[in-house]
Chain A
Amino acid sequence: MIPAYLLLLLPLLGILYFALFGHQEDVGRQNIRFNGVTLFLSLWLAVNVFNSGTLLSTGEYFIVDSFNVYLIVLTAFVGFTTAIFSAPYMAHEKDLGKLTDKRLRLYYSMYQGFMFAMYLVLTTNNMGVMWVAMEAATLATVLLVSLYRTPESIEAAWKYFILCGVGIAQALFGTILLYYAATQFSHAENALMWSVLYENAKLLNPEILEIAFVFMLIGYGTKIGLVPLHNWLPDAHSEGPTPMSAVLSGLLLNDALYAVVRNKMLVDGATDSHIAGYLMMGFGLLSFLVAAFFLHRQKDIKRLFSYSSIEHMGLMTLAFGIGTPFATFAALLHMTVHSLTKSAIFVTVGHAAQISGTQSIDKIRGLIKTQPKVGWGLLIGTLAIAGFPPFGVFTSEFLVLLATMQSYPWLTPLLLLGIGIACAGLFRNIQPMVYGECPAGQQAVQANLWPVMIHLVIVLWLGLAMPDFLADWFTQATILISGSAPL
């Protein structure tokens, strides 16, 4: 468990460190170092879990099993590569005069604060602490959304704050009901421990748990961005600094879904009715379809890709809702490839917006001519996220489709329709931006595209041939979540 403790401790130190020294010259590089060490720690933790199975800390405060350890590694990895991107990006924003030293300090300090909240959500064994950490993640990022202090960004941050705050309050009510159900048989101090609840799930009152799950799905679902609770998401993604959009899309949404799935495991243990699954399927499918249509009417490039995030989160929620081992495997894979691809896209989008000085889709033109690396990065990233073979997103979407055909064949046409509409929605907007005539005087910017390349290569690799250890890992997580192995 030592790496898990260090993993939580380091970002805490980071908050303090950057609050004091966040204005220095090489602060971007310090941030990379902090995140690099946490990446190393997460890998160390992963090796431990790989060798000895589920780890429980003394006192059972923290749990690391095959399900959350891969999300921890993913979180640390995306946090690390986004830090690499953020260093020159934020320096450029400062040169443009958009940011002061004070705000830069806030930015780096809260970057670490957000990472801390994410690690806490993932490692804690206490469902109450999970809620606290989820709320803390909102609090850490809300001032970053309004970092530029434009009227739009303040509006977006306020919306984010209020909607997510009220939404997640519902999840706390659900957690209280869960706690009430658990105190009927367990000692009060242990009654919120996930491991205790999971072992005794049969003893939990099914009626209470069903109602509790409705509240939790609405609560955490607000953070996943499920339609119709998604209103904050495109605003917060489009108005904040781009590295923030990358981590929000790549990490926060995943971790909120993680919280829902943990709760679903308890509800499934307590009832035989599959009601949790149906609820998730309904919300997931609705989000998937609505977001696909909304892609067609976007005028802002970051809003475009945040709707694409809603669409993919909807697909994952649907797959977890179906709940067969096959679907769960597909959802886990989709979580990974979506995180990697989407954060890579936001990195290129950030550079594209800096090149043309605007986020408006109508005004971004000729990226390939001005800076081929950015243009190709955006094009390939969009190909990957739209689900073209041979990228990993294709594999996972294909698996979700197969799983749907197995369990609910009548849903397949809807899914195909959604995928087709979403693909068209992305390309009608991307094509002119990448090719089009480049406006006079458009200059290339200093850009570090290593994160994009690494992410896309991994996604490609996952699509062509998934390495054995990763497949084993997903299989173990699938067994944990759905009870048996896929295939």
Chain B
Amino acid sequence: MDIENLDHYSQLILSLAALVTLTSFIMLAQGRLLRLVFVFALQGFLLVLATSIAAYSFDNPHLYISAAITLVLKVLFIPWMLRRHILKLNMHRDVEALNNKTTLMLGGASLVVFSYYVLHPIMQNSSMILLNALSLSLAVILLGMLLMISHHQAIAHVVGFMSIENGLFFAATVSTNGMPMVVELGVAFDVLVAAVLFGIFFLHISSSIDSLDVDKMNRLNEVDQ
């Protein structure tokens, strides 16, 4: 691929795809919750940029609407809500001990390679930008899962969950210029309701186990006592 020969749109989208993936890696190794939430907001902002660029290049007004929704929901509302909970529950000084950061990072890197491996056969005939952008958004989804596996705090799980949504949103934007409006609105509504419910759950969990460490919730399992 000859990067200089690509048009500006493709170059921008490719750089943004790389940056979005980079933010996922930063989140993966982040033990402080406030910073985690900040990087999450940053990832949301990169998505808003990518969507606006796509909207501008293809002269597609409905992408502006999705960009605006993302701005309000993922850059402002959800980070604000998470920050408020962190401060209220007095968790902003806690540093989560992540065992084996090196392995975690290597695992993340192999997930990126894996995403390329999965999508390569079907994207062979399409443009280079599509292959890269779709593979990286799948990587963001998988990295979000890895984030949830490696962190113990409920708030980090919610960040991982929402970052999976970010990956999906990026995939929809670059591959198809956004889903039909009704679907996009529906997904945004689901994300909003989920965010509110997560807020309610933080209160319930912290009053039930006196912390948000989900590893302490282990009453229900199939292991013999």
Which chain A residues have a beta carbon within 8 Å of chain B's beta carbons? 126, 128-129, 131-133, 135-136, 139, 142-143, 146, 149-152, 154-159, 161-162, 165-166, 169-170, 172-173, 176-177, 179-180, 183, 188-189, 191-192, 205, 207-208, 211, 234-235, 238-239, 294, 297
Contact = CB atoms under 8 A, between A and B. Distances in A.
A128 B175 contact: no
Contact of A179 (B165, B179, B190): B179
A309 to B, nearest CB: 16
A159 B214 CA distance: 10
A132 B183 contact: yes
Contacts of B186: 128-129, 132-133
22 contacts: A128-B179, A128-B183, A129-B186, A142-B197, A146-B204, A152-B219, A152-B220, A155-B218, A155-B220, A157-B201, A159-B220, A161-B194, A169-B165, A170-B141, A172-B168, A173-B167, A176-B176, A177-B175, A191-B176, A207-B122, A211-B122, A297-B222
Contacts of A158: 154, 201, 205, 214, 217
B42 interface: no
Nearest to A127: B183
Given A191-B180, A207-B121, 15 more contacts: A128-B180, A129-B183, A132-B187, A135-B194, A136-B193, A146-B204, A154-B204, A154-B217, A166-B148, A172-B168, A179-B179, A188-B177, A192-B183, A239-B220, A294-B222
Interface in B169-225: 171-172, 175-177, 179-180, 182-183, 186-187, 189-190, 193-194, 197-198, 200-201, 204-205, 208-209, 214, 217-220, 222, 224
B138 interface: yes
A159 B218 CA distance: 10
Contacts of A133: 186
> Can you list the 3 inter-chain pairs with the closest CB atoms, starting with the nearest?
A128-B183, A132-B186, A155-B217
A166 B189 CA distance: 17
B141 A139 contact: no
A126 B205 contact: no
B170 to A, nearest CB: 10
Given A128-B180, A173-B171, A211-B122, A143 B197 contact: yes
B119 interface: yes
B141 A169 contact: yes
Contact of B180 (A139, A156, A192): A192
Contacts of B161: 162, 165-166
Contacts of A128: 179-180, 182-183, 186-187
B190 A183 contact: no
A180 B138 CA distance: 14
A294 B222 CA distance: 9
Nearest to A210: B122
Contacts of A135: 187, 190, 194
With a 10 A CB-CB cut-off, give which of A136, A165, A192 has the most chain B CB atoms: A165
Contacts of B53: none
B83 interface: no
B118 interface: yes
A133 B214 CA distance: 28
A154 B190 contact: no
* Dominant secondary structure at the B interface: helix
A180 B176 contact: yes
Contact of A139 (B165, B168, B193, B218): B193
Nearest to B164: A169
A355 to B, nearest CB: 24
Contacts of B121: 207
Contacts of B165: 169
B176 A179 contact: yes
Contacts of A205: 122
A179 B179 CA distance: 8
A234 B219 CA distance: 13
Nearest to B193: A139
B157 interface: yes
Contacts of B220: 152, 155-156, 159, 234-235, 238-239
With a 10 A CB-CB cut-off, give which of B138, B198, B201 has the most chain A CB atoms: B201
Given A128-B182, A169-B165, A176 B122 contact: no
Given A159-B220, A176-B171, A179-B176, A211 B190 contact: no
Contacts of B105: none
Contacts of B175: 176-177, 179-180
Given A189-B180, A235-B220, A132 B197 contact: no
A208 B122 contact: yes
A170 B118 CA distance: 14
B145 interface: yes
B80 to A, nearest CB: 21
A466 to B, nearest CB: 38
A151 B208 contact: yes
Contacts of A208: 122
A297 B224 CA distance: 9
A149 B206 CA distance: 12
Nearest to A172: B168
A214 B86 CA distance: 37
B164 A188 contact: no
B119 A173 contact: no
Nearest to B145: A166
A149 B204 contact: yes
Contacts of B176: 176, 179-180, 183, 188, 191
A394 B141 CA distance: 43
Contacts of B182: 126, 128-129
Contacts of B209: 151
